[in-house]
């Protein structure tokens, strides 16, 4: 009720209360006075007084009270946040000069403005503080993160001041270098250097740091324990507000393992995995560099292509394991045979290349090549097996045989093919006509391959006579090739090519079959069962699988007694793999097939082998026979060979008998059989049938 009354009375309640109190007081006083018998004039005075008082109060209210009430209301009304307080205006006409209320309003306005500004300043400051606090928190959290990164980093971190004195290092630094922070703080990072990094690297580092503020690269440092390691280092500069360098931050890691892996990969990519020699790629790189240097320094180079002779046979017979070990042994010999600065490479298979740097000329290259050839000729002991191999070597010289790496390789390769073609185990220099010769050879191989199917081969037969009786004892089958364009091609020209190209297997099988068939025909025509047919045999043929079975089959098929077949194998071929050949020849001999060593005396066989070889006859080479008339030495050799053969129970067949004197000499020495142009040339079977001596 009271509150309701207060509200209804409003802000002017004090004035109204005064007016009400004055009226009530006047009424009370009037009533009391009336009670006590006070007469009207007094009552009227009192009432007048009361009315005057009420008027005064009303006037006071109108002139001051309501303004005070407005001021109070203004002061109670809060201004909107962020807004300046509204100006206080009284509802009155402004006096012509400021009165107390004007002063009060002005003072209140100033006070409120000041208060508002103070509040605004405080608020802004509070915001600022809030911002600062947030920023500080952010900085602190970043510093925390950075400190964690710094300490937990797996990479070593070094922070140095502007004078490059270490001011902080992390744990990884201690782990990596072995130095504790106390041992390095205040010192120059130079203390870590192993002294192995070229000074140009440091120069470039300082140049880059000055120009770009960063540098990274590889340098070699030394740990506290003295061990040296390569590290990958990144340095950044930190600049202060003035722009001058205030700090250096270096991050590094040990890259020994990475370098080892890189080196391993490099080695694998550049070296032959079996022998450890340089591989084709590495050789090509080195040769290119060597050629450029040689051109610049006006030096000579020699490139040697080496191909092992008949390595494939060793592989086939003894297995790849043995073959691999032989290659490793050969690689070691090659390395030993040349100087440290020369490059020895394996191109694959049994092909090796040696790059000789700074050779003085053809002679010195030849000397080294000869040394290499002889080194490879020595027998190799692999797991108790004595293996022999020889090499065909091609040589090309820079600059005359090729001014580029490619040309030089091609020339040396061509020379090596030539070395193979002229009979293996020799060395040949590149010459201008070689390419043409090689092309011709390639064509010859293609023609030979075709010759067999095109039936371009025929056999001619040369009689061999019993020296004492003059009776036709045997005939030697000699291969003839009628080339469609070139006419008759000499066996001396195409047999070696057939041997090197592997075609001799098929050709030899055809010869053997044809000779046996011919024997059968003669047998049927003459009824003479003891005529012997001699057939030349290549080493590859003898070594080929199934050769013995092939002989068995032919003898059976043609009903030919084994002793009517004589197989001739040259001395040099026989010596290539004595052990295996002895075994195979033994098997043939057991069957009764006759065996003869062809061109005896021209090879390098040890005479002691003659005792173990399962043979029946020696064929005295015609070079000795030719010399018997004029050369006492040759005569002595013939004499000795015949005597030796007889001592060993062997027959001797002299080939190439061209003169009566030769025949007389051979007869006098007890030679068993004679063959030569003096007696009969090789001829086709039809012609032989007409020969006087033919049965
Ligand atoms: N100067 C001269 N030469 C004479 C005389 N008597 C014979 N000749 C020749 O001497 C060679 C004898 O054959 P070879 O020593 O086995 O030498 C043969 C043999 O090693 C090889 N050959 C021939 N036919 C075959 C064959 O079917 N298979 C194999 N693997 N090699 C063969 O080719 C070589 C050469 O054969 P050809 O040219 O037929 O040459 C033949 C023959 O024509 C003579 O009095 N004076």
DSSP 354-389: EEEES--SHHHHHHHHHHHHHHHHS-EEETTEEE--
Tell me if 511 CB under 6 Å of ligand 1: yes
Instruction: Convert the pLDDT of each residue in 76-102 to its tens digit.
Output: 888 777 788 888 888 888 888 888 888
| Residue 562: band (very low, low, confident or very high) from pLDDT cuts 50, 70, 90 | very high
Mean pLDDT of the chain: 89
The predicted pLDDT at position 1 comes to 40
Backbone angles phi, psi at 31, to 5 degrees: -65, -45
Given a cut of 50, whether residue 9 has pLDDT beyond it is no
Closest by CA to 597, choosing from 569, 616, 625, is 569
The predicted pLDDT at position 556 comes to 96
Instruction: Give residue 164 CA to ligand 1 midpoint distance, Å.
Output: 90
| Residue 205: band (very low, low, confident or very high) from pLDDT cuts 50, 70, 90 | very high
Tell me if 161 CB under 6 Å of ligand 1: no
The predicted pLDDT at position 6 comes to 46
Tell me if 505 CB under 6 Å of ligand 1: no
Please, what is the end-to-end C-alpha distance for the chain in angstroms? 172
In percent, how much of the chain has pLDDT > 70? 95
Residues near 536 by beta carbon (within 8 Å), at least 6 away in sequence: 476, 477, 478, 479, 511, 568, 569, 598
Ligand 1 closest atom vs CA 511: 27
Tell me if 496 CB under 6 Å of ligand 1: no
The predicted pLDDT at position 47 comes to 73
Given a cut of 50, whether residue 169 has pLDDT beyond it is yes
Checking ipTM against 0.90, whether it exceeds it is yes
Q: What is the mean pLDDT of residues 236-250?
A: 94
Instruction: Give residue 419 CA to ligand 1 midpoint distance, Å.
Output: 23
Alpha carbon nearest to ligand 1 atom 16, residue: 536
Ligand 1 closest atom vs CA 678: 45
Distances in Å between the Cα of 643 and the Cα atoms of 635, 654, 666 are 12, 13, 12
Distances in Å between the Cα of 455 and the Cα atoms of 449, 502, 564 are 11, 19, 26
Point out which residues pair with 543 in neighbouring strands: none
Q: Cα–Cα distance between 464 and 471 in angstroms, integer?
A: 9
Backbone angles phi, psi at 369, to 5 degrees: -60, -40
Angle, in degrees to the nearest 10, between helices 660-668 and 632-647: 40
Of 51-60, 111-120, 632-641, the least confident: 51-60
To test ligand 1's pocket by mutation, which of 488, 496, 655, 657 has the most ligand atoms within 8 angstroms of CB?
655
Of 25-29, 541-545, 621-625, the least confident: 25-29
Distances in Å between the Cα of 483 and the Cα atoms of 403, 442, 536, 596 are 39, 15, 21, 30
**Bridging pattern class, strands 390-398 and 427-429:** parallel
The predicted pLDDT at position 53 comes to 78
Ligand 1 closest atom vs CA 675: 6
Q: Cα–Cα distance between 390 and 573 in angstroms, integer?
A: 13
Tell me if 491 CB under 6 Å of ligand 1: yes
Instruction: Give residue 405 CA to ligand 1 midpoint distance, Å.
Output: 43
Beta strands in 310-359 (DSSP E): 343-348, 351-357
Backbone angles phi, psi at 138, to 5 degrees: -65, -45
Instruction: Give residue 528 CA to ligand 1 midpoint distance, Å.
Output: 25
Instruction: Convert the pLDDT of each residue in 500-538 to its tens digit.
Output: 888 999 999 999 999 999 999 999 998 888 899 999 999
Closest by CA to 160, choosing from 169, 148, 151, is 169
Which residue did the predictor score with more confidence, 493 or 604? 493
Tell me if 598 CB under 6 Å of ligand 1: yes
The predicted pLDDT at position 91 comes to 84
Q: Cα–Cα distance between 351 and 336 in angstroms, integer?
A: 17
Ligand 1 closest atom vs CA 508: 28
| Residue 409: band (very low, low, confident or very high) from pLDDT cuts 50, 70, 90 | very high
Q: Cα–Cα distance between 486 and 489 in angstroms, integer?
A: 7
Alpha carbon nearest to ligand 1 atom 4, residue: 656
Instruction: Give residue 478 CA to ligand 1 midpoint distance, Å.
Output: 6
Tell me if 428 CB under 6 Å of ligand 1: no
Reduced to 3 states, what is the DSSP secondary structure of residue 252?
A: strand
Contact at 8 Å (CB) between 354 and 338?
Answer: yes
Beta strands in 532-601 (DSSP E): 532-537, 565-570, 594-600
Check: pTM over 0.90? Answer yes or no: no
To test ligand 1's pocket by mutation, which of 460, 480, 491 has the most ligand atoms within 8 angstroms of CB?
491
Given a cut of 50, whether residue 12 has pLDDT beyond it is no
Greatest mean pLDDT among 33-42, 164-173, 489-498: 164-173
Instruction: Give residue 567 CA to ligand 1 midpoint distance, Å.
Output: 14
Tell me if 656 CB under 6 Å of ligand 1: yes
Which residue did the predictor score with more confidence, 590 or 544? 590
Q: Which CATH architecture has domain 153-260?
A: 2-Layer Sandwich (3.30)
Alpha carbon nearest to ligand 1 atom 1, residue: 656
Point out which residues pair with 306 in neighbouring strands: 352, 393
Would you kindly state where each structural domain of the chain is located, as residue ranges? 153-260, 272-432, 444-690
The predicted pLDDT at position 605 comes to 55
Q: Cα–Cα distance between 420 and 188 in angstroms, integer?
A: 67
Distances in Å between the Cα of 513 and the Cα atoms of 66, 516, 565, 682 are 151, 5, 11, 19
Task: Give the DSSP H/E element, type plus range, for residue 555.
Answer: helix 547-558
Q: What is the mean pLDDT of residues 12-28?
A: 68
Q: Cα–Cα distance between 338 and 329 in angstroms, integer?
A: 15
Structure tokens that stand for 341 in this block: 């600065």
Q: Cα–Cα distance between 7 and 219 in angstroms, integer?
A: 92
The predicted pLDDT at position 441 comes to 84
Given a cut of 60, whether residue 604 has pLDDT beyond it is no
Q: Cα–Cα distance between 236 and 234 in angstroms, integer?
A: 7
Instruction: Give residue 65 CA to ligand 1 midpoint distance, Å.
Output: 157
Tell me if 463 CB under 6 Å of ligand 1: no
Q: Cα–Cα distance between 416 and 418 in angstroms, integer?
A: 5
Instruction: Give residue 280 CA to ligand 1 midpoint distance, Å.
Output: 42
Q: 272-432: CATH homologous superfamily?
A: Reverse transcriptase/Diguanylate cyclase domain (3.30.70.270)
**Bridging pattern class, strands 301-309 and 351-357:** antiparallel
Point out which residues pair with 245 in neighbouring strands: 239
| Residue 238: band (very low, low, confident or very high) from pLDDT cuts 50, 70, 90 | very high
Contact at 8 Å (CB) between 12 and 69?
Answer: yes
Tell me if 499 CB under 6 Å of ligand 1: no
Ligand 1 closest atom vs CA 541: 30
Task: Give the DSSP H/E element, type plus range, for residue 553.
Answer: helix 547-558
The predicted pLDDT at position 43 comes to 66
Given a cut of 60, whether residue 220 has pLDDT beyond it is yes
Closest by CA to 109, choosing from 84, 73, 82, 83, is 84
Tell me if 85 CB under 6 Å of ligand 1: no
Alpha carbon nearest to ligand 1 atom 43, residue: 682
Given a cut of 70, whether residue 8 has pLDDT beyond it is no
To test ligand 1's pocket by mutation, which of 448, 478, 656, 666 has the most ligand atoms within 8 angstroms of CB?
478
Given a cut of 90, whether residue 302 has pLDDT beyond it is yes
Q: Cα–Cα distance between 608 and 582 in angstroms, integer?
A: 14
Backbone angles phi, psi at 414, to 5 degrees: -60, -45
| Residue 21: band (very low, low, confident or very high) from pLDDT cuts 50, 70, 90 | confident
Instruction: Convert the pLDDT of each residue in 659-694 to its tens digit.
Output: 999 999 999 999 999 999 999 999 999 999 888 777
Tell me if 552 CB under 6 Å of ligand 1: no
Instruction: Give residue 536 CA to ligand 1 midpoint distance, Å.
Output: 9
Of 17-21, 469-473, 503-507, the least confident: 17-21
Tell me if 498 CB under 6 Å of ligand 1: no
Q: 444-690: CATH homologous superfamily?
A: EAL domain (3.20.20.450)
Tell me if 677 CB under 6 Å of ligand 1: yes
Contact at 8 Å (CB) between 232 and 253?
Answer: yes
Alpha carbon nearest to ligand 1 atom 19, residue: 536
Which residue did the predictor score with more confidence, 158 or 693? 158
Farthest-apart Cα atoms in the chain, separation: 213
Contact at 8 Å (CB) between 356 and 378?
Answer: no
Ligand 1 closest atom vs CA 460: 39
Q: Cα–Cα distance between 675 and 461 in angstroms, integer?
A: 11
Alpha carbon nearest to ligand 1 atom 31, residue: 536
Tell me if 401 CB under 6 Å of ligand 1: no
Reduced to 3 states, what is the DSSP secondary structure of residue 683?
A: strand
Tell me if 478 CB under 6 Å of ligand 1: yes
The predicted pLDDT at position 267 comes to 84
Task: Give the DSSP H/E element, type plus range, for residue 589.
Answer: helix 578-590
């Amino acid at each position: 009720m009271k509150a309701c009354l207060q509200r209804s009375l409003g802000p002017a309640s004090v004035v109204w209360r005064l007016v009400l109190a004055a009226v009530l007081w006047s009424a009370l006083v009037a009533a009391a006075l009336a009670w006590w018998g006070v007469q009207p004039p007094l009552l009227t005075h009192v009432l007048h007084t009361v009315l005057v008082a009420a008027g005064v109060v009303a006037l006071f209210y109108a002139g001051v009270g309501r303004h005070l009430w407005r001021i109070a209301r203004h002061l109670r009304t809060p201004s909107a946040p962020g807004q300046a307080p509204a100006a206080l205006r009284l509802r009155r006409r402004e006096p012509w000069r400021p009165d107390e209320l004007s002063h009060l309003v002005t003072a209140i306005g100033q006070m409120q403005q000041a208060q508002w500004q103070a509040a605004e300043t405080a608020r802004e400051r509070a915001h600022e503080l809030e911002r600062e606090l947030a920023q500080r928190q952010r900085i602190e959290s970043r510093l925390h993160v950075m400190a964690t990164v710094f300490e937990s980093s797996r990479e070593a971190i070094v922070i140095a001041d502007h004078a490059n004195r270490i001011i902080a290092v992390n744990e990884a630094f201690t782990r990596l270098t072995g130095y504790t922070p106390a041992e390095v703080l205040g010192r120059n990072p130079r203390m870590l250097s192993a002294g192995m990094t070229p000074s140009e690297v440091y120069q470039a580092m300082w140049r880059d740091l000055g120009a770009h503020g960063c540098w990274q690269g590889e340098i070699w440092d030394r740990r506290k324990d003295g061990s040296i390691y390569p590290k990958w280092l990144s340095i950044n500069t930190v600049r202060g507000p003035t722009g001058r360098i205030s700090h250096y931050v270096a991050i590094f890691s040990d890259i020994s393992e990475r370098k080892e892996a890189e080196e391993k990969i490099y080695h694998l990519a550049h070296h032959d995995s079996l022998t450890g020699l340089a591989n084709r790629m590495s050789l090509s790189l080195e040769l290119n560099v060597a050629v450029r240097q040689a051109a610049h320094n006006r030096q000579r180079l020699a490139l040697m292509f080496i191909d092992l002779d008949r390595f494939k046979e060793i592989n086939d017979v003894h297995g790849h394991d043995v073959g691999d070990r032989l290659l490793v042994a050969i690689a070691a010999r090659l390395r030993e045979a040349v100087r440290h600065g020369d490059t020895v490479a394996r191109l694959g298979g049994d092909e090796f290349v040696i790059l000789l740097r700074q050779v003085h000329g053809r002679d010195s290259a030849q000397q080294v090549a000869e040394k290499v050839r002889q080194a490879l000729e020595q027998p190799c002991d692999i797991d108790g097996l004595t293996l022999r191999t020889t090499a065909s070597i091609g040589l090309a010289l820079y600059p005359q045989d090729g001014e580029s790496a490619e040309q030089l390789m091609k020339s040396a390769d061509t020379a090596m093919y030539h070395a193979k073609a002229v009979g293996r185990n020799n060395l040949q220099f590149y010459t201008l006509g070689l390419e043409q010769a090689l092309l011709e050879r390639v064509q010859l191989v293609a023609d030979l391959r075709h010759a067999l199917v095109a039936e371009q081969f025929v056999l001619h037969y040369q009689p061999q006579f019993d020296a004492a009786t003059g009776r036709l004892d045997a005939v030697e089958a000699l291969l003839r090739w009628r080339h469609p364009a070139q006419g008759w091609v000499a066996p001396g020209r195409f047999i070696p090519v057939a041997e090197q190209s592997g075609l001799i297997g098929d050709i030899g099988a055809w010869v053997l079959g044809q000779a046996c068939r011919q024997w059968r025909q003669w047998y049927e025509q003459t009824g003479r069962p003891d005529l012997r047919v001699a057939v030349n045999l290549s080493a590859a043929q003898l070594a080929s699988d199934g050769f013995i079975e092939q002989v068995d089959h032919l003898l059976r098929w043609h009903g030919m007694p084994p002793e009517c077949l004589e197989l001739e194998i040259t001395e040099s071929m026989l010596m290539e793999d004595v052990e295996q050949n002895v075994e195979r020849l033994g098997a043939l001999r057991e069957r009764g097939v006759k065996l003869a060593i062809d061109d005896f005396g021209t090879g390098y066989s040890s005479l002691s082998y003659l005792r173990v070889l399962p043979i029946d006859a020696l064929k005295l080479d015609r070079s000795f026979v030719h010399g018997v008339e004029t050369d006492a030495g040759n005569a002595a050799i013939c004499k000795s060979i015949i005597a030796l053969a007889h001592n060993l129970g062997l027959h001797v067949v002299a080939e190439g008998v061209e003169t009566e004197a030769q025949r007389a000499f051979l007869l006098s020495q007890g030679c068993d059989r004679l063959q030569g142009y003096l007696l009969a040339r090789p001829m086709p079977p039809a012609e032989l049938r007409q020969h006087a001596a033919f049965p």
